Amino acid sequence: MAKPASPSSDDPETLKALLAEERAENEQLRQIILAMQRHRFGRRAESLPEDQLLLGLEEAEQVEAAGHAAKEAEPAKKAVRVGKRRTNLGALRAHLPRVETLVDIDGTACPCCSGALHKIGEDVSKRLDVAPAQFRVLVLRRPRYACRACGDAIMQAPAPGRLIEGGLPTDALVAQVLVSKYADHLPLYRQAQIFARQGVVLDRSTLAD
């Protein structure tokens, strides 16, 4: 009896062929079982020769053994596929700023003959780092000037416009709060907790305003 193929293909025609093959094998096994029942319980005229029954049982055992072998081999195949899977560590984009640190030897004198060492190459490794957000205070100074000759003229540069007139946050801070709330779904009370960890106490109602 032919060994059943492993149903790992996604091709409909292949699956249909496998299904038809399994149905034929099941029908053959059913006929063998019926023949054994007739041989044991039926009339002697309907019984089959013993060697033919033994041949059918041998084929049934071969089919069962092949099925068990296929099931045992499947985890091993999966393990091989997992082992060959390549790890994706990501790519460090060129637009990211680079901070280089040089780790060099103490001197360029050869420890054997005290001759001068010359550079023949270098090893370069790269890692992805993050600089945590840091709050800062922007101080705007606008000097005032007066005329000593007439005493009437007072000059001062106009103050730049603000997104919130008279408010403390800059445009960047307002944008950060809005992006965190609506794009990152970060509630205002959690943003207030994040600000508090850096020593900036802002009430949730203040952020909402």
The whole-number pLDDT of residue 103 equals 93
DSSP 155: E
Average pLDDT over residues 3-11: 55
d(CA 70, CA 191): 56
> Which residue, 86, 90, 85, 119, is CA-closest to 104?
119
Alpha-carbon torsion (63, 65, 71, 76), positive or negative: negative
**Rounded to the nearest 10 degrees, how much is the dihedral formed by the CA atoms of 55, 58, 62, 64?**
120
d(CA 196, CA 202): 7
CA angle, 73 then 79 then 82, to 5°? 145
CB 173 within 8 A of CB 181: no
35-74 confidence digits (pLDDT tens): 777 766 665 544 455 555 566 666 666 766 666 666 666 6
Average pLDDT over residues 139-168: 89
CB 139 within 8 A of CB 149: no
DSSP 18: H
CA angle, 116 then 117 then 119, to 5°? 140
